[in-house]
């Protein structure tokens, strides 16, 4: 990377007042490998910062992934690993990190050519996985995730230099409007809302359970929601939402009997490899933000 790459073009958690700044990076970089998305899809992603694809993966594969996830969440050995995040209070499994390294079934999904092609088309380069996780929102007592831009945290706490990463959330259960589906604020990816407050040490241990820093203020959230509204895509298991690293998103609680489970991959451009964290603290651990290797991911077709 050139020396210019480590300039902090997206400062946050440095001032006592939140700032509302324009994004300086492209959304769709173009020119990369991959051809799965149509020009209209790319245009939609550029404009709104997300793309919903129904039936991205088939019923058989969904079942296989759900079974694998059940095994992982019952694995007594994993219970004691830092990859496993539990709900405060109940102790129920909330997330399993680095799921594509813990399980060959999930590794295959991460390298599914459709997912990979979307990432490569949008980011205009080869990509690697910055973070992966399975998220469980159990029935009856699923907790909310408050609004945030992932990029703000990845930049400040992980040292991701620029906005050149894309996330995909693949639903392994049906997403109804009422079981706490992912909500996005379309268009919010074009603005960078810097947050107030200094990052505490080992912030990740708390923030994965309840986010308190890196959270946009009410006034700017209202402004973004007025700009482009709120969308909560719903659809059967196997559907997916792709969204830009800077798209503001969150989800409400889930008191229905229907659990909401999804798997989440973050593809980062190999030309956007992590630097030192911009907050000046130690990097977060490997299972939350990979630094071991920024080598391109290669696609697999299902055998």
Q: Which residues bind a copy of itself (CB under 8 A)?
A: 139-140, 144, 146-147, 176-178, 180, 183, 218, 221-222, 225-226, 230, 232, 250-258
Q: Do 184 and 266 contact (CB within 8 A), yes or no?
A: no
Name the CA radius of gyration of the chain, rounded. Answer: 18
Residues contacting 70, CB < 8 A, separation 6+? none
Give the nearer residue to a copy of itself in terms of CB position, either 209 or 258: 258
For 153, residues 6+ apart whose C-beta sits below 8 A from its C-beta are: 207, 214
Supply φ then ψ for residue 156, to 5 degrees.
-70, -45
Question: Which is closer to a copy of itself, CB of 238 or CB of 250?
Answer: 250
Shortest distance, CB of residue 143 to a copy of itself, whole angstroms?
A: 9
Of 114 and 223, which CB lies nearer to a copy of itself in the complex structure? 223
Q: Which is nearer to a copy of itself, 21 or 178 (CB)?
A: 178
In DSSP terms, 95 is beta-bridged to: 85, 135
Residues 262 and 170: beta-carbon distance below 8 Å? yes
Secondary element (H or E) of residue 68: helix 59-74
* Closer residue to a copy of itself, CB minimum distance, 143 or 203: 143
Residue closer to a copy of itself (CB basis): 35 or 177: 177
Residue 216 Cβ vs a copy of itself, minimum distance, rounded to whole Å: 11
CA-CA distance, 50 to 44, in Å (whole number)? 7
> 3-class DSSP state for residue 235?
strand
To a copy of itself, the closest distance from the beta carbon of 169 in angstroms equals 16
Quick check: 122 and 170 in contact, CB under 8 A?
no
Distance CA 232, CA 219 (A): 21
Contact predicate 115/297, CB 8 Å: no
Q: How far is the CB of 70 from a copy of itself (least distance, A)?
A: 18
User: How near is the Cβ of 20 to a copy of itself at its closest, in Å?
Assistant: 15
Structure letter (DSSP) for residue 55: T
Q: Which is nearer to a copy of itself, 37 or 232 (CB)?
A: 232
Q: Which is nearer to a copy of itself, 11 or 259 (CB)?
A: 259
Q: Which residue has the tokens 């130690």?
A: 282
181 within 8 A of 138, measured Cβ to Cβ: no
């Amino acid at each position: 990377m050139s020396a210019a790459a480590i300039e902090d073009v997206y400062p946050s958690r440095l001032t006592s007042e939140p700032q509302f700044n324009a994004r300086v990076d492209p959304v769709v970089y173009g020119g990369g490998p991959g051809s799965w998305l149509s020009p209209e899809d790319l245009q939609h992603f550029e404009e709104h910062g997300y793309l919903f694809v129904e039936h991205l993966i088939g019923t058989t594969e969904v079942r296989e992934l759900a079974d694998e996830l059940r095994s992982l969440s019952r694995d007594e050995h994993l219970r004691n690993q830092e990859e496993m995040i539990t709900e405060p209070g109940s102790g129920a499994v909330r997330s399993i990190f680095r799921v594509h390294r813990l399980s060959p079934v999930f590794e295959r999904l991460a390298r599914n050519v459709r997912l990979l092609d979307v990432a490569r088309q949008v980011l205009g380069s080869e990509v690697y996985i910055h973070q992966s996780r399975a998220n469980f929102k159990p029935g009856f007592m699923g907790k909310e995730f408050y609004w945030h831009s992932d990029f703000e945290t990845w930049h400040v706490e992980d040292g991701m230099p620029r906005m050149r990463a894309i996330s995909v959330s693949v639903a392994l259960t049906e997403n109804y409007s009422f079981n706490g589906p992912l909500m996005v604020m379309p268009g919010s990816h074009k603005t960078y809302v810097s947050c107030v407050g200094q990052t505490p040490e080992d912030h990740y241990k708390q923030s994965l359970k309840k986010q308190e820093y890196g959270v946009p203020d009410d006034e700017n959230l209202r402004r973004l929601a007025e700009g482009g509204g709120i969308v909560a895509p719903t659809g059967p298991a196997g559907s997916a939402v792709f969204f830009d690293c800077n798209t503001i998103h969150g989800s409400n609680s889930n008191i229905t009997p229907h659990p909401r489970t999804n798997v989440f991959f973050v593809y980062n451009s190999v030309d956007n490899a992590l630097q030192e964290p911009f907050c000046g603290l130690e990097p977060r651990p490997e299972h939350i933000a990979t630094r071991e290797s920024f080598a391109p991911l290669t696609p697999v077709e299902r055998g």
